[in-house]
Every structure is written in structure tokens, then in C-alpha cells.
Amino acid sequence: MTAERNDLVSALGHSLKAIDDDYKEEMRELRALFADAKNEAEKDEPDSVKLRHLLTDANEMARTFATLDPAWQAVQRVARMFGLL
């Protein structure tokens, strides 16, 4: 495996751990994309088109989540105040 792919696998592993540590349910789809990309990157001969597609989808989903996360946090705080969470 090339050094570049090793770095990618490592970065995806760190992203999976961060999601598992901080976000469970709300990031399950992004986690699935990262897991699929990591599995593909770990192959002896990964499909570069599939890997690029997975990473592009993950990038767009992460951007969307980053934009919406402050609003989601506010909704959770309000829900906790009312005993809904």
C-alpha cells in the first residue's frame, strides 16, 4: 500500500473514531461512507472511481453537517430543557 493510501486509511480511521466518540445516530450515514471508503482504500487494488465517489459524497455530507450542526445542537438543548431527550 502506498504512503498516500496509508495516510487516507489512517485519516478515515480517525474520522470513524471521532464520529463514534462524539456523534452516534446523527452521523450514521456519514460514518457508513467513511467506513466504505476505508474498506475500499485498504484493498490491494482499490477501485479509484468508487473511492473518489465515496469521498466526494462524504465531503458534501460533512459540509452539510457542519452547516447544520449548530442548529441541531440548539434543538437538542431545547429538547433537553423540556425533558424530551
Total count of domains within the chain:
1
Q: What per-residue confidence (pLDDT) applies to 48?
A: 94
* pTM of the complete model: 0.70
Contact indicator for 19, 41 with CB cutoff of 8 Å: no
Please say if the pLDDT value at position 59 is more than 80: yes
Q: Is the pLDDT of residue 30 over 70?
A: yes
Task: Tell which wins on pLDDT, 40 or 71.
Answer: 40
pLDDT for the residue 2 = 84
- CA 39 from chain centre, in angstroms, equals 13
Give mean pLDDT, residues 20-27: 75
Residue 31 domain boundaries: 3-81
